[in-house]
Amino acid sequence: MSQTKEIQLPDIGDFHDVEVIEILVSPGDRVEPEQSLITLESDKATMEIPSPEGGVVQEVRVAIGDKINRGDVIVTLEAEEEVSAAAPAPAPEAAVESERPAVAAEPETPPAAVPAAARIPVPVPDIGDFKDVEVVEVLVGDGDHVEKEGSLITLETDKATMEIPSPASGTVHGMKVKVGDRVNQGDPICELQTDTAESTSEPVVAPVAEEQPAKAPEPEPVAAASQERLPGEKPARKRPVIAKPSDAPKGRAHASPGVRRFARELGVDLYHVPGTGPKGRITKEDVQNFVKRTLAEGAPQVAATGPLQLPRPPEVDFSQFGEIEEVELGRIKKLSGKHLHNAWLGIPHVTQFDEADITELEAFRKDLKAQAEKEGVKLTFMPFLMKALAAAMKEYPQFNASLSPDTEKLILKKYLHIGVAVDTPNGLMVPVVRDVDRKGIFELARDLMDVSSRAREGKLAPGDLQGGCISISSLGGIGGTQFTPIVNSPEVAILGVSRAEMQPKWNGSDFEPRLIMPFSLSYDHRVIDGAEGVRFTTFLAQLLGEIRRLLL
């Protein structure tokens, strides 16, 4: 004989309308006593709700995002008579309470009021019957400012994760705990210099019961079968159903409520985020790194969605021809390689070649060299080229644009930021210099020195690589005569500069030596046609040949 039972949400303290964030079983699953059914999350605690007995799940009555309360039905369970008969009698109240997902109780005596504008100790509040609870995250450091109710540390038990809030707003001093420590009620966390702005407010009372689930007044059958388990033994958990095999999670999401909240704001599925914290715990930095990595790798797969379907290259065993060595590509080359591959396949490139007479410009640069040294900058040819390029883009605004995602509109930009390719030990990077049209030569030289040094040291921020309107790739310091640079999507053009050299040029009566710089312009033929490309390069060559035109 078997019977169907409704498994209800047990007493979880003073919480109401608690959100369901994970469903760990599905209809047809066999569950054991104490196996977790769902995960709930409040502002400060995450808790798993275990099954009070074994059986087969017939129906799941809740969905992710539902808000439930004590007594709400979670699942219906077909419990076998033999299983339920074999279940031991409820354990004594103290033993049962220690296994409950509830993590805190009402304090027997109210905590002391916190005087405003004072340096106060912050202890671990009442967290129920739990002892030696592990610190899994320290969320603040000495000198950090926290708001009232802002989280200080995260604690974790077998069934719950809880963040300990600050009793007042102020500045943290003397952190007394670290990750891995085990703490109990009353243990010091830190000292807090409360804000003077609170001096006219009522005394602050450290909140504990409002943020932590309370002890159940009566033992629930939730832990009735737990006495049968060996110490440390946990039943296997089912993962949520996934859409397709490629979505398979790497493991259970193991994160604090604050990290879960942060991930939800960014739309991140924590099941796919590898954790680097203690015991594989997911930290806020892990979520941020996952987002950066996803954005970098998530460029439009033109080859997979467009008309051009390229076959994969054949796998060749090169070792049959001689000795080989496999060397891992650097991270920058991996990321930029995918982007360049998509840009090359998705953008119809045209490259226009031209050259500029920079004899007078080079003489002018050398005349300014002494003044530049006084300004503390190294004056190269690049700031002059950037100013000329900015002027040409103002004359031909279609070069300072991007196509809309549906390729039906042209987005004209009213700002002028230029990316400059920098050769670094880790690969080519293109930091962006902003508002080139509004800056002088010396200011541009200073900005170039700054972004170039930070690029080589690996200290560029994500914002330093975004927002460019056009890019410059200069190989003049190395050599070469001409090359075809790849457009840095979503930009529509890129300028390639090669080494300048002295050449004889006819002036109408004689040949004279002139410093000639070859350059090339690659552009998106969907936006710019050939005639516009030639007009642009001709105008740019004129600006570089007659630097005084930049003053007009």
Query: CA 336, CA 299: separation in Å to the nearest integer?
Result: 10
Name residue 427's beta-bridge partners.
Answer: 424
Amino acid in position 55: G
Handedness of CA 203, 206, 212, 214 (dihedral sign): negative
> How many residues in total does the chain contain?
552
Identify the helix (H) or strand (E) that includes residue 410: strand 410-412
Query: CA 168, CA 120: separation in Å to the nearest integer?
Result: 10
Q: Is-catalytic flag, 341?
A: no
Closest CA to 466 of 433, 493, 436: 433
| 73-80 β-sheet, strand order | 2-8, 73-80, 55-60, 30-31
Q: Where are the beta strands (DSSP E) in 236-388?
A: 349-357
- State whether residue 179 is helix, strand or coil: coil
Burial of 56 (0-12, 13-18, 19+ CB in 10 A): middle
- Residues 6 or more apart in contact with residue 505 via CB below 8 angstroms: 357, 511, 512, 513, 514, 516
Do residues 420 and 381 make contact, with C-beta atoms less than 8 angstroms apart?
Answer: no
**First-residue to last-residue Cα distance in the chain:** 96
Name residue 171's beta-bridge partners.
Answer: 145, 193
**Other Cβ atoms closer than 10 A to 537:** 21
Three-state secondary structure readout of 266-288 = HCCCHHHCCCCCHHHCECHHHHH
Q: Which residues of 143-180 are buried (b: 16+ CB within 10 A; e: fewer)?
A: eeebebbbbbbbbbbebbbbbbbbbbbbbbeebebeee
Catalytic residue (choose from 272, 341, 349, 525): 525
Do residues 369 and 461 make contact, with C-beta atoms less than 8 angstroms apart?
Answer: no
Cis link prior to 125 (omega < 30° from 0)? no
The pairing of strands 55-60 and 2-8 is unpaired
| C-alpha dist (Å) from residue 449 to 101, 212, 461, 476 | 57, 53, 16, 17
Q: What is the DSSP letter of 12?
A: -
Two structure tokens written together for 6: 């409704």
Question: Could you tell me if residue 257 is left (phi over 0), alpha (psi between -120 and 50 degrees) or otherwise beta?
Answer: alpha
Active site residues: 525
